[in-house]
Structure 1
């Protein structure tokens, strides 16, 4: 009996000394769990907790960690070539430092009589994709004022008629003359390159609206008045059909400024 007791004691001791069996699989050195961190065994043979990259943790906290975008990374070559071509064409014809003002640089224009002429003239053919019926000589202040008027007044006023505005009918631009061509009168702002006269509008469907008829026509009277009123600000002087008999068939705009503000009739 004593011998049997001794045998059982030895077997029990051996069982206690046997290593613990790990039922979960242990990754091989260098393998990854979840595809992010290598499995590391600690001294006891258990899987050690992976250590995060301090730089990655900081990026996550800052919100600068890289994310996956569903948006295409690059535009096609054809699209890029088209965009470059369009940009070059617009930049080639841009004047006054604005690609929305298309034309050509004229430079100095000498007047045939005292008081006429301008130092830095441009010849404008379109503003904001609205074509002028004739290429018009003016200074850049006047060109920029014309663009502002087209963007802020003309396009909104005519957006529901005939598909919108396509062109402006120019009655006059630079001309070395006196006001209203009166003998002995002061030099007109037209003679200084600071004025333009608009006598009508062309719509995208081919319709033409004149100031002479459109000012009183039921379908266009409100649009005409909106455009006339909208020019008061971009331009220093605004004259229309109600100003006098000289302007019953066109709008006169110039960039002369007065201490009292814009003169608008």
Structure 2
């Protein structure tokens, strides 16, 4: 036997753990912990010091790099792919590793790190409130609610009878005022104070012009937006001018016709619109007759956003502009 082999056997015998010579009676009650294995450099120094030919150059083993996120995802996908049912038939079944690569490529799961959500900006709650208020401003004004019934001897006019109104200026006031909330089945966005003559003219206009002009467009007429009725003031609120028909309860200002689908035909934006304009102009013309005075955006700068309707009578007939 060669010297190298003998040296190797001797070293193995020295490093081997001792085996008890007794039988099962001398066996330990619990398993022994293995002795700590010497590190590779220390063992190599002992072998080299013994002069054994086994002291050959040892290649250091690089430590295993930590798992990358994409490697972990790849292993998980590979494990999931193995659980997927394999196709049967003439088509070849791909290797699980290949299937994992296909799934990874298709899903784009091989990312280094999951993106963290962006921090919530300050004041996000306030922004939502502002957006909600902006939507509320675009929403038609709420309709008048409350107890009301037929007034002015006409079941198509609903509202309530009021006490006589005395104006703070001479020639102002209404002897028999009413607050109108609905005419011809169409609600007003706010109660309009006027006399019964004006209330009946408003009903005739809505029934004979507004509703036929709109028809089924947008589901039909939902409400009429009223922005002014009785107000003790001069014409266009100019100092020294005559008392307005508003101060006598004979006028009402209409700014829009609200449709059931939420769209509003507004005088300010729709009068010169190619689609809404013809409808609003037809309603403007239809008011000329039931009312003695009809003023719109073409009249003057004071009526750019509404139709002024009043029951004043002129010797030359209705004044419509």
Task: Indicate the TM-score class for this superposition, using the shorter chain for normalisation.
Answer: 0.5 to 0.7
Find the counterpart in structure 1 of residue 53 from structure 2: none
Q: Is 1:175 aligned to 2:252, yes or no?
A: no
Match of 2:304 among 248, 252, 258: 248
**CA displacement at 1:205 relative to structure 2:** 1.3
Distance 1:209 1:150 in 2: 14
2:194 to 124, 138, 149: 138
Given candidates 268, 286, 291, the residue that maps to 1:212 is: 268
Give the one of 249, 260, 265 matched to 2:316. Answer: 260
**CA offsets per residue over residues 197-240 of structure 1, 9 Å max, x none?**
00001101121121011111122111111100000000000000
Query: 1:201 corresponds to which residue?
Result: 257
Residue 208 of structure 2 is aligned to residue 156 of structure 1: no
In structure 2, the gaps of 5 or more residues are 1-146
The partner residue of 1:102 within 158, 173, 180 is 158
Structure 1 residue aligned with 2:278: 222
- Secondary structure at the residue paired with 1:94? strand
Match of 2:19 in 1: none
Q: Which runs of 5+ in 1 are unaligned?
A: 1-90
**Counterpart mapping for 1:1-265 below 5 A:** 93-265=149-321
SS in 1 for 2:201: helix
More strand as a share of residues: 1
- Cα deviation, 1:17-60, whole Å, max 9, x if unaligned, reads xxxxxxxxxxxxxxxxxxxxxxxxxxxxxxxxxxxxxxxxxxxx
**Cα deviation per residue 1:90-120 (whole Å; 9 max; x = unaligned)?**
x970000011100000031110111100100
Q: Distance in 1 between matches of 2:148 and 2:307?
A: 31
Superposed structure 1 runs of 4+ greater than 2 Å apart:
none
Whether contact under 8 Å (2:148, 2:159) holds in the other structure is no
SS in 1 for 2:285: helix
| Structure with the higher helix share, 1 or 2 | 2
In the TM superposition, residue 168 of structure 1 has moved relative to its aligned partner by: 0.7
Q: TM-score, normalised by structure 1?
A: 0.65
